[in-house]
Structures are given as structure tokens and as C-alpha cells.
Amino acid sequence: MFQFLYIRPSLILLSLSRVTFEQLIRKELFFGVIGEMGRLFVQTLEGSIYSCKHCKTHLAVLEDIMSKAFSSRHGKAYLFRNVANVTLGEKEERMMITGMHIVADIFCVCCGSNVGWKYESAYEKSQKYKEGKFILERFQILGPNGSTYPRIQEAQIVGSDVDEE
């Protein structure tokens, strides 16, 4: 778990453990912009935007999608080259359909919702292309036209990963 304090006019968010802004920045766990006096400035993206369904914070652009053929325990998921306005949770080993990976969950900086995960490393040579890439779960985000996907209850019991094609 991580702890961060986020201050924005009329909004203070506290999370569950004890990591400071300085630790977030030093460990490169934060994908936003820290401005004067520790104030967080949310990045505004341009173009076709995917955003958090809970608070509408911009998370990624359509041009950064690498694949729409992923799935998670809750339904469809997209693989992105880059994301913005997220914090990383702790790294953990997770068994996926395509094998063991080291991943870190990613959370919206504004509302703290878990929106997906980052692939830190893959053990299988064929899965190395995922390293440093991000998964956004469709049920947690709004599409460029405001579309949503419903959550599928326990779509897959064991891990999450690429759909079979």
C-alpha cells in the first residue's frame, strides 16, 4: 500500500500507508506534476482521452493504446504505452494467464480508484514487451466518447492478461 496526501482546492485525499510526496517522486511512483509548495497539478491531456469514470481525471490518450485484446478479472482491459495522473502501489508477483509477472497496481491521483496496473517485469521472454507498460481496466474508465463498460463479476478467477486470439 502507499500513502499520499493530495491537496487541491477543496479536496484532501489520504491513503492507507506512509509514503511521502518526496518518496513518491524519488521512487518514480507518481506520474503527474508536483508544483510549488507540494501542490499536485493534474495533467490535462489533449485529443481522444480515456479518463477515470469516478472523477473524470484524464488518464491516457487513444494514440497510446498498444492492444485492446487484454482482459482482467472484471472484463476488458487495454494495454497503454503511457498513462498520466496515476500513482503506483507496491510491486508484487502476480500469476497471469501468460505467466508470472511483477506488477504494481495504479491509482487515480484525484479519487484514489484502482484503475489498472503497470507491468514492471515479465519472466517469460515472449512477454518482455509488456515491461513498463500499463493496463487500464475498461470498467474503471470512460472512453473518448464517454462510453463505459460494465464490470463482469469474476470474469476470470486466475489472474488477468491477454485474451486468446
CA nearest to 160, candidates 70, 30, 27: 70
CB of 140 closer than 8 Å to CB of 162: no
CA-to-CA distance for 145 and 48, rounded, in angstroms?
8
pTM recorded for the entire structure:
0.71
Q: What percent of the chain has pLDDT over 70?
A: 67
User: Which domains, from first to last, does the chain contain?
Assistant: 5-154 (2.170.150.20)
pLDDT digits (tens, 9 = 90+) for 122-140: 999 999 999 999 999 999 9
Asked if 97 contacts 156 with a C-beta cutoff of 8 angstroms, the reply is: yes
Binned at pLDDT 50, 70 and 90, residue 146 comes out as confident
Asked if the model's pLDDT at residue 98 lies above 80, the reply is yes
